[in-house]
């Protein structure tokens, strides 16, 4: 990576959500594989992440779904079309971090398929193969990561996400973008520009290089 941009300044920073921006929604893939309809719910449906995770953990427990069961599903998943090429370009032009409400224990096969980008997310709590809970990296993690990069590290920060749990991150960035966000979220936050695909996001970001 070139440590300087064309003006000779340090590279700006890009923070990306993971699920819905670079990879499909993991829990929705679990829903498809198991037939458990309520696992289709995501942070595009519920504003409360805690409520969403309570639903997921109960369904996992009630249906005896283990971490190994989920990992077999995740291993078969692939990044979204265009994601790998976009991420490669982004890492050559920005300092990049994925800031996600997923879990290291679930998503690592997909991190590997994207050539190990920097990832900041949460941990599952396990009892053997049983999923018994989760531990947040920190409360309001996405917003706090952006604030730290801007205020402590003194970078200009761009961000892209698709769901309710990305709003604080996008608002805290110097420039935030919705990526393929559904209409009910876009309409609630009309000040955030919506991007239709990775190529359009690349074009938008190129304007800042």
Confidence of residue 52 (pLDDT cuts 50, 70, 90): very high
pLDDT digits (tens, 9 = 90+) for 71-116: 999 999 999 999 999 999 999 999 999 999 999 999 999 999 999 9
Copy the structure tokens of residue 3.
């440590």
Whether 19 sits among the annotated catalytic residues: the reply is: yes
Cβ proximity of 177 and 192 under 8 Å: yes
Looking at the structure of the chain, the number of domains it has is 1
Sort 84 into a burial class: Cβ within 10 Å, 0-12 / 13-18 / 19+. Answer: middle
Q: Whose structure tokens read 């959500």?
A: 17
Give this prediction's pTM.
0.93
End-to-end CA distance of the chain: 14
The reported pLDDT for the residue numbered 9 is: 53
Q: At a CB cut-off of 8 Å and minimum separation 6, what does 94 contact? A: 11, 12, 13, 14, 158, 205
Give the pLDDT of residue 10. 61
What are 154-176's pLDDT values in tens digits?
Answer: 999 999 999 999 999 999 999 99
The answer, yes or no, to whether residue 3 has pLDDT greater than 50, is no
pLDDT tens figures, 171-209? 999 999 999 999 999 999 999 999 999 999 999 999 999
151 domain residue, yes or no:
yes
- The string of DSSP codes covering 165-206 is GGHHHHHHSSEEEEES--HHHHTT-TTSEEE-SHHHHHHHHH
Q: Which residue among 12, 17, 101, 166 is the active-site one?
A: 17
Q: pLDDT digit string (tens) for 130-144?
A: 999 999 999 999 999
What's the confidence (pLDDT) of residue 11?
83
The proportion of the chain whose per-residue pLDDT surpasses 90, expressed as a percent, equals 94
Q: Would 3 be classed as within a structural domain? A: no
pLDDT digits (tens, 9 = 90+) for 57-73: 999 999 999 999 999 99
Contact status, residue 126 vs residue 69, Cβ threshold 8 Å: no
Is residue 1 assigned to a domain?
no
Q: Which two tokens stand for residue 201?
A: 């996001």
Residue 26 lies in domain:
13-206
> Exactly one of 19, 29, 101, 166 is catalytic; which is it?
19
Predicted confidence (pLDDT) at residue 152 exceeds the cutoff of 80: yes
Instruction: Tell whether 52 is covered by a domain.
Output: yes
- In this predicted structure, the answer to whether residue 5 has a pLDDT above a threshold of 80 is no
Give strand pairing partners of 122: 103
**Percent of the chain topping pLDDT 70:** 95
**List of residues 6+ apart from 168 with CB closer than 8 A:** 140, 142, 143
Q: What is the CATH number of the domain that holds 39?
A: 3.40.50.1000
54, part of any domain: yes
């Amino acid at each position: 990576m070139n440590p300087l941009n064309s003006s000779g300044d340090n590279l700006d920073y890009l923070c990306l959500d993971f699920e819905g921006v670079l990879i499909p929604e993991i829990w929705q893939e679990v829903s498809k594989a198991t037939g458990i309809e309520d696992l289709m719910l995501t942070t595009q449906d519920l504003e409360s992440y805690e409520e969403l995770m309570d639903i997921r953990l109960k369904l996992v427990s009630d249906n005896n779904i283990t971490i190994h069961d989920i990992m077999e599903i995740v291993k078969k998943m692939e990044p979204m079309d265009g994601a790998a090429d976009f991420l490669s370009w982004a890492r050559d032009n920005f300092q990049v971090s994925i800031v996600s409400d997923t879990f290291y224990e679930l998503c690592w096969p997909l991190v590997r398929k994207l050539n190990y980008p920097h990832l900041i997310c949460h941990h599952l709590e396990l009892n053997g193969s049983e999923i018994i809970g989760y531990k947040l990296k920190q409360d309001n993690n996405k917003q706090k990561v952006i604030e730290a990069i801007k205020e402590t590290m003194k970078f200009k920060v761009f961000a892209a996400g698709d769901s309710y749990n990305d709003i604080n991150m996008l608002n805290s960035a110097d420039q935030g973008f919705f990526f393929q966000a559904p209409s009910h979220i876009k309409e609630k936050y009309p000040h955030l520009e919506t991007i239709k695909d990775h190529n359009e996001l690349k074009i938008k970001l190129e304007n800042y290089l």
